[in-house]
């Protein structure tokens, strides 16, 4: 096991070394997997008290709060800006422009609210801001007078195979002090947008008493990041909120009122599954808790969306879901098997680069493996190395109140490359069309530790013989670029 390294600057030589070691593991697919022996010192896995400053309500009557933005179209030239006003609906207008304090444009949104058992939500606003320029910093203002608030965000570079872009990947975040540590560590990274793999607030742990409140506190807690960069949402089991004993039988009611997605832009009929293209990536978001078997809307949509992927324009094909298809933890073991049986074949056929999931409160990374030979009667029950397969990464380690999933199954399956039960987040830096730099960053005791890092080969541009020359050139270039950091 690579020893822990502390601090971003001093990690560089180690990362490069680790990258090469893990790179060779990733390619050969048959090195022994690692179960980390790291034991983290447990913080209590309880939610931060309601009166903590991380949940503070902004000053001013009816001041906009819980600001969060997400991509608003297929190609990254729009954002959906969402917020809540507590006292009255107020204005759904966003003023924006390319210089601070000068707002030459405005857009009008919509407002909604809902009840959940005895909880009554605030007024939830969603405003689509479209027609933006690529690679541009925009300033925006919400609200009026003393209660108004100002923020900014930067649009991504244009869709281009060599657009350089860094995503953060966070899952199962919750609102404990571990969650805060994960968020703070992520915000110190170079991440430009977050791919969130489900289980947001864990507000559903509060039933009858304080029901619903933790949706509001969570959104105020993450505003420090979500007001300034887009988070792409996917839903987990803690978003289902199916509570018939409380008279609440509409699944995803809280989540869908609060977190918009640009599903219509990718021809999806449901905000729970959709796709976006951003910089050099095509990102597909699936719903583990919506029907996905053959002929269902999600199945039909994915079949069509995969045909729309153009690796010449967006070399990186990334899939997000909540429940991992490969998981060797005792917790949630085999829960992804039904979706694996339906979708794995397509992931191989379309050469998906990486599948990110959450759900299991630990970190795990697979080799490139598949189990599509198995068909109940074939007798091939074990996954095998498969160069066309994605890498499966579970990042359900945001730090929520349920604590860690500390029991991995023994022995470690051959397909499992690295696993550790502690908290953290990942970053995926798309360097060019052939290579990306991946990190999993453990956070523990207030320090940031890069623990699992490697160079990810692009599945499309690395697999084709015609492109070998370009690949060789880009490996050298990639290493030069990494050395410059």
Per the CB < 8 A criterion, the answer to whether 57 and 86 are in contact is: yes
Looking at beta carbons only, is 237 or 329 nearer to Fe ion?
237
Q: Which two tokens stand for residue 44?
A: 């209590």
Looking at beta carbons only, is 80 or 355 nearer to Fe ion?
355
Q: Which two tokens stand for residue 181?
A: 């540590």
Q: Which is nearest to 22 in space by CA: 452, 420, 416, 431?
A: 452
Q: Which of 125, 332, 361, 435 is catalytic?
A: 332
Looking at beta carbons only, is 334 or 376 nearer to Fe ion?
334
425 catalytic? Reply is no
Q: Which residues contact 241 (CB under 8 A, 6 or more apart)?
A: 116, 204, 248, 251, 252, 253, 254, 255
Q: Which is nearest to 38 in space by CA: 418, 343, 381?
A: 418
User: Which residue has the CB atom at the shortest distance from Fe ion?
Assistant: 359
Q: How far is the CB of 170 from Fe ion (least distance, A)?
A: 13
Q: How far is the CB of 238 from Fe ion (least distance, A)?
A: 6
Looking at beta carbons only, is 237 or 443 nearer to Fe ion?
237
CA dihedral sign of residues 269, 270, 271, 273: negative
Q: Which is nearest to 231 in space by CA: 269, 262, 188?
A: 262
Looking at beta carbons only, is 178 or 237 nearer to Fe ion?
237
Per the CB < 8 A criterion, the answer to whether 90 and 143 are in contact is: yes
Per the CB < 8 A criterion, the answer to whether 451 and 434 are in contact is: no
Q: How far is the CB of 358 from Fe ion (least distance, A)?
A: 6
Pairing of strands 137-142, 149-154: antiparallel
Q: Rounded to whole angstroms, what are the CA distances from 282 to 103, 158, 233, 314, 420?
A: 32, 13, 15, 6, 28
Residues of this chain that bind Fe ion (CB under 5 A): 199, 236-237, 359
Q: How far is the CB of 223 from Fe ion (least distance, A)?
A: 23
**Positions marked active-site:** 332
């Amino acid at each position: 096991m690579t020893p822990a390294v502390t601090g971003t600057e001093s990690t560089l030589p180690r990362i490069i070394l680790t990258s090469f070691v893990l790179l060779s593991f990733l390619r050969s697919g048959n090195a022994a997997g690692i179960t980390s022996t790291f034991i983290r010192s447990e913080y209590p896995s309880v939610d931060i008290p309601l009166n903590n400053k991380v949940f503070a309500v902004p000053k001013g009557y009816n001041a906009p709060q819980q600001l969060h933005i997400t991509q608003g179209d297929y190609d990254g030239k729009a954002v959906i800006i969402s917020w809540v006003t507590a006292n009255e609906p107020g204005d759904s207008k966003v003023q924006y422009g390319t210089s601070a304090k000068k707002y030459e444009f405005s857009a009008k949104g919509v407002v909604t609210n809902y009840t959940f058992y005895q909880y009554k939500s605030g007024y939830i606003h969603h405003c689509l801001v479209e027609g933006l320029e690529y690679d541009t910093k925009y300033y925006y203002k919400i609200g009026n007078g003393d209660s108004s608030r100002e923020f900014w965000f930067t649009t991504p570079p244009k869709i281009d195979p060599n657009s350089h872009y860094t995503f953060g990947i966070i899952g199962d975040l919750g609102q404990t002090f571990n969650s805060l540590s994960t968020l703070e560590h992520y915000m110190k990274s170079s991440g430009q947008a977050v791919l969130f793999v489900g289980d947001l607030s864990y507000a559903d742990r509060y039933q009858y008493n304080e029901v619903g409140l933790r949706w509001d506190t969570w959104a105020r807690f993450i505003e420090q990041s979500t007001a300034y960069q887009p988070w792409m949402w996917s839903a987990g089991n803690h978003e289902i909120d199916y509570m018939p004993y409380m008279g609440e039988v509409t699944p995803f009611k809280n989540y869908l009122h609060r977190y918009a997605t640009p599903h219509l832009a990718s021809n999806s009929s449901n905000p729970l599954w959709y796709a976006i293209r951003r910089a050099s990536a095509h990102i597909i978001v699936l719903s583990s808790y919506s029907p996905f078997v053959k002929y269902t809307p999600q199945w039909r949509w994915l079949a069509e969306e995969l045909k729309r992927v153009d690796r010449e324009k967006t070399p990186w094909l990334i899939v997000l879901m909540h429940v991992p298809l490969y998981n060797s933890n005792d917790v949630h073991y085999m829960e992804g098997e039904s979706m694996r049986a339906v979708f794995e074949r397509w992931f191989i056929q379309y050469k998906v680069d990486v599948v990110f999931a959450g759900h299991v409160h630990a970190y795990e990374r697979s080799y490139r493996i598949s189990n599509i030979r198995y068909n109940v009667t074939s007798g091939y029950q074990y996954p095998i190395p498969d160069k066309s397969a994605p890498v499966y990464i579970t990042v359900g380690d945001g730090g929520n109140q349920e604590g860690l999933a500390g029991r991995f199954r023994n022995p470690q399956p051959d397909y499992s490359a690295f696993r550790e039960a502690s908290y953290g987040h990942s970053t995926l830096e798309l360097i060019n069309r052939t290579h990306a730099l991946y990190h999993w960053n453990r956070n523990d005791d207030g320090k940031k530790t890069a623990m699992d890092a490697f160079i990810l080969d692009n599945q499309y541009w690395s697999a084709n013989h015609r492109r070998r020359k370009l690949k060789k050139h880009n490996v050298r270039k990639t290493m030069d670029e990494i050395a410059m950091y």
